[in-house]
Amino acid sequence: MSAVTVSGLVKAFGAVRAVDDVSFELPSGAVLGLLGPSGCGKTTLLRCIAGLETPDDGTIAIGQATVFAERGRVLVPPERRELGMMFQSYAIWPHMTVAENVAFGLKVRGWNAAKTARRIEEALDLVRLPGYGRRYPGELSGGQMQRVVLARCLAYHPALLLLDEPLANLDAHLREEMRAELRRIQRETGTTMVAVTHDQAEALALSDLILVMEAGRVRQAADPRALHARPASPEIARFLGAVNRLDGAARAGGLVALAGGGVVGIDHAQPAGSPVVLYLRPGDLRLGAANGDANGPLARVDSVEFLGEALRYRVLVGDRVLVVDQPLGGPEYDLGADVRIAVDGSAASCFAA
């Protein structure tokens, strides 16, 4: 059974179509990641599902219930859609205690005091904040607030949980911790989720299905592994971190002759003789001695940064810049040194030029 079904959804602001003919179906208990650069329409799509924006066309169904259809002739207001939503700004009510925040949705639903109290305790246990009920939000850290929001959303067992950049306001190490927590809680409760993010690592880690959006349209829908291995377009490949572009020509046997010299084998063959472009992540390239036997083109070291676990080189192939992350312990090169690039062809995304 699908938990969310969206078809042909359109939402325009003036002349800009922020959501442009979007369709997808999400099975119950799964997590959908909406991934894309800022302004791609992912947040608008989320707010349309929530009912905070009214779409212009298309249909939205949550569970069995159609909540939007026929250009607004069917329009269920957000308060009756049985949703939970985590806002980027947390949106914890500062004048209520943690318990009152969590209880709000229960009170609206007319739960009695004993049942409410029990449920507050369960929800706070679930997010690992037992005993925090009497505190005010002002006394909590960012990570704790995030947990309170989660407890507030999940207290009334919503059919669907929407997350708007859920981890964007956290420090790097907290972000990873909360990401794992979100996954754990999702598994334990079996809640269906739709999460908006601009961070590919977050999307890959959280989601069962990812929609990559650009300019209001869905450019690719895939599970995380497939998306990582086979981005559907050069734009998506770049967005997913494959910032290095190498031009070449396809040869028979899954080989590509690179423009700056060298031949690499790739996983997905293209018709022999056709011009192609390869996209690679910084970690899929290595630097070797200029006179060595690496399979890629010659390059010159333009800059180098120390990243901690690796050295990040920017090298010039002709006038094109490539970014190479060289693990520590390998050979190191000075500025201006000539090097030869080793290309991990199996990691490359290959497109017809």
How near is the Cβ of 115 to another protein at its closest, in Å? 16
How many residues touch another protein (CB under 8 A)? Answer: 29
- Residue 284, C-beta contacts closer than 8 angstroms, at least 6 positions apart: 242, 244, 343, 344, 347, 348
Residue 194 within binding range of another protein, rule CB under 8 A: no
128 binds another protein (CB under 8 A): no
Residues numbered 161 to 190 that lie near another protein (CB under 8 A) are: 162
Q: Is 105 in the site for another protein (CB under 8 A)?
A: yes
- 102 or 301: whose CB is closer to another protein? 102
End-to-end CA, the chain? 41
Segment 129-158, which members bind another protein (CB under 8 A)?
Answer: 152-153, 156
Among 15, 95, 319, 334, binds another protein (CB under 8 A): 95
Least Cβ distance, residue 58 to another protein (angstroms): 18
Which parts of 328-347 interact with another protein (CB under 8 A)? none
**Contact string (CB under 8 A) for another protein, positions 16-55, x = contact:** ----------------------------------xxx---
Query: Could you tell me the smallest distance in angstroms from the CB atom of residue 32 to another protein?
Result: 17
For another protein, give the closer residue by CB, 110 or 329.
Answer: 110
Build a one-symbol-per-residue string for 297-326: x at contacts with another protein by CB under 8 A, - elsewhere: ------------------------------
Q: Is 63 in the site for another protein (CB under 8 A)?
A: no
Q: Provide the binding-site residues for another protein, judged by CB under 8 A.
A: 50-52, 72, 77-85, 87-89, 91-95, 104-105, 108-109, 152-153, 156, 162
